[in-house]
């Protein structure tokens, strides 16, 4: 099992847009095959750092999931919403493997 950690740099004046974007992923990500842990918007401290976290079985499963997400109507609209509103300034993905609990 891998955990995909998406680190976003967002426009601090468009936090509501990011929160809308996160709510859509809250339904689309599980529907397309990943185990969503959650999306996190800034609360205290940095006003520009946000995160998305989900589990996926493998990198091969990730590729299949991304293809389904790109075909999902809500997923496609969410990608377009982000491009149109430009609230995401930077996005980085890291895949993590659990070593211990």
Per-residue pLDDT tens listing for the chain (101 residues): 999 999 999 999 999 999 999 999 999 999 999 999 999 999 988 999 999 999 999 999 999 999 999 999 999 999 999 999 999 999 999 999 999 88
Q: Which structure tokens are listed for 3?
A: 């955990």
- The total of other beta-carbon atoms located within 10 Å of residue 18's CB is 21
Domain residue spans of the chain: 2-94
Name the CATH code of domain 2-94 (choices 1.25.40.80, 3.40.50.620, 3.30.70.100, 3.40.50.2300).
Answer: 3.30.70.100
The pLDDT of residue 5: 98
Task: Give the predicted TM-score (pTM) of the model.
Answer: 0.91
Residue among 26, 34, 32 at smallest CA distance from 54: 34
Using DSSP, how many helices (H) and how many strands (E) does the chain show? Answer: 3, 4
């Amino acid at each position: 099992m891998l955990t995909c950690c998406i680190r976003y740099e967002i426009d601090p004046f468009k936090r509501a847009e990011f929160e809308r974007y996160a709510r859509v992923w809250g339904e689309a990500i599980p529907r397309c095959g990943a185990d969503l842990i959650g999306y996190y918007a800034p609360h205290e401290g940095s006003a520009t750092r946000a995160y998305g976290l989900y589990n996926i079985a493998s990198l091969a499963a990730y590729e299949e999931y991304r293809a389904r997400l790109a075909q999902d109507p809500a997923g496609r609209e969410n990608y377009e919403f982000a491009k149109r509103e430009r609230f995401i300034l930077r996005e980085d993905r890291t895949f993590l493997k659990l070593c211990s609990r």
